[in-house]
Structure 1
Amino acid sequence: MLKEFAELSTPLIADACVRAGVPLRAAPPGIACVPAGRRIAGRALPVRHYGSVDVFLEAFSSAEPGDVLVIDNGGRTDEACVGDLAVLEAQAAGISGLVVWGLHRDTPELAAIGLPVFSYGSYPPGPVRLDEREPEARTAARFGDHVVDGGDLVFGDADGVLFVASDRAAEVLAAAQRIHATEREQARRIRAGEPLRAQTSFADYLTRKAADPSYTFRAHLRRTGGAIEE
């Protein structure tokens, strides 16, 4: 999956979801990766954190190579829920990366390990609580407004993280490839001296818009074959 994602990006995946009519499920803004610049793509392995790493260790026993551990810590900012030992163990289990709705710690150690860890920042204290588990502790993870389960794929890069249902992934990736090809051609033409306004017949759009206020730029792009928006 990472190989298929190699020439794409989360913005392209997001646009492809909209174009294909696939629910757009993005992690809340602000998520970033340690080490910086790394990318992830793989099957979601969801867990909910309740104050102990034991749920992670249990999840690793059912992990498949390339899985992405998706950790639901409720977006908490009063504790870090994952550190170097848990990440080392994830790496040993074949996990390709972690996505945390919460915070991490041991930042220098995580950078040295090199396994991508997407989170909302670092914080020295670990949890001092131990809450009761929910029945869905290892089957579904909440992430912002979304629920992620083992039927989802995870894509992450410098722009953020997206979740896509695996049964729609081929369709989304194909659409993303088409958008990518169109945008690269548009970029080449801009560099060659042909402005995007000329490529998209923007003057014609403005004329049509004046005559028909319901005529949108997205509809115009679909008519002209452009791809700066969905």
Structure 2
Amino acid sequence: MEHEELRRRFAALTTAHLADACLRAGTPVRCAPPPLRPLEPGSRLAGRVLPARHAGSVDVFFEAFEDAAPGDVLVADNAGRTDESCVGDLVALEAAAAGLGGIVVWGLHRDTADLREIGLPVFSLGATPTGPRRLDARPDGALDSAVVGEWTVSRTDVVLGDDDGVLFLPAAGAGDLFALAESVRDTERRQADRVRAGVPLRRQLDFPAYLERRRRNPALTFREHLRAVGGAVEE
């Protein structure tokens, strides 16, 4: 999926829709840990992963920018450290100048007021005033992959972010997952509209029938029932 199509289609979806699509497709749901949040509420990002593993110097980020394509999202792996920041205003300005679509930091940022003014979407674990006070040896493959929580991501992945958090998808299967997410969204919207019109969700989903079927078959799950009636509320 090309970058512009990715952004256009994600504009009408949420990470929750796409997480549900992953579950429905049997694809691993690669969510960043919940503490990874947008600097500014309402921020959204969507783009190819541009990975970089930080070892105490921002040169690894600048080197990553040399090969970046417009719309890429820097995924800065600082091992989830909370004793230093690794991204500040100058890195964000340079990322914006390189045409990047945002920054995801598995670690902390600083220069919060300046980052807000720059306006590039930034997701991180929070802020601290200090930058790195170390310079470690650069790990092998520092520009090949990044780790966020339990997940290792690379340029074969795309990253999506909104107020619910950050989600990684395989780029090769993104189109199919987006189609599933759009189906989930449309079903949920129809259900929500009917609830607002006075038709409770339990009636739409024939919940009493589910309870009766479960009484006869205790192994029956609500998700199986949802599949049978074409409903969407969980996957």
TM-score grouping bracket, smaller chain normalisation: over 0.9
Is 1:175 paired with 2:175? no
CA offset at residue 135 of structure 1? 1.2
| Runs of 4+ off more than 4 Å | none
Question: Which letter does structure 2 place at the counterpart of 1:201?
Answer: D
CA distance in 1, matches of 2:39, 2:29: 25
CA distance in 2, matches of 1:225, 1:155: 27
Contact kept in structure 2, 1:22 and 1:168, CA below 8 Å = no
CA distance in 1, matches of 2:36, 2:160: 13
CA distance in 2, matches of 1:209, 1:35: 45
Is 1:165 paired with 2:170? yes
User: Among 193, 211, 214, which residue is 1:209 paired with?
Assistant: 214
Partner of 1:46: 51
Q: Any unmatched runs of 5+ in structure 2? A: 1-5
Is 1:123 paired with 2:128? yes
CA distance in 2, matches of 1:178, 1:66: 26
User: Among 16, 25, 33, which residue is 1:28 paired with?
Assistant: 33
Per-residue Cα deviation, 1:112-145 (whole angstroms, up to 9, x for no partner)? 0000000011111111011111111000001100
CA offset at residue 36 of structure 1? 2.3
**How much is the aligned-residue C-alpha RMSD, in angstroms?**
0.6
Is 1:83 paired with 2:106? no
CA offset at residue 214 of structure 1? 1.1
CA offset at residue 23 of structure 1? 1.2
Per-residue Cα deviation, 1:71-125 (whole angstroms, up to 9, x for no partner)? 1111000001100000000000010000011110000000000000000111111
CA distance in 2, matches of 1:214, 1:103: 46
Contact kept in structure 2, 1:81 and 1:127, CA below 8 Å = yes
Number of equivalenced pairs: 230
CA distance in 2, matches of 1:30, 1:72: 15
CA distance in 2, matches of 1:207, 1:63: 57
SS at match of 2:48: strand
CA distance in 2, matches of 1:2, 1:159: 17
Partner of 1:55: 60
Question: Which letter does structure 2 place at the counterpart of 1:211?
Answer: R
Q: Any unmatched runs of 5+ in structure 1? A: none
Question: Which letter does structure 2 place at the counterpart of 1:3?
Answer: R
Identity over aligned residues, as a percent?
57
CA distance in 2, matches of 1:159, 1:82: 22
SS at match of 1:174: helix
Is 1:64 paired with 2:69? yes
CA offset at residue 183 of structure 1? 0.2
CA distance in 2, matches of 1:47, 1:22: 25
CA offset at residue 34 of structure 1? 2.2
Contact kept in structure 2, 1:35 and 1:115, CA below 8 Å = no
Question: Which letter does structure 1 place at the counterpart of 2:210?
Answer: Y
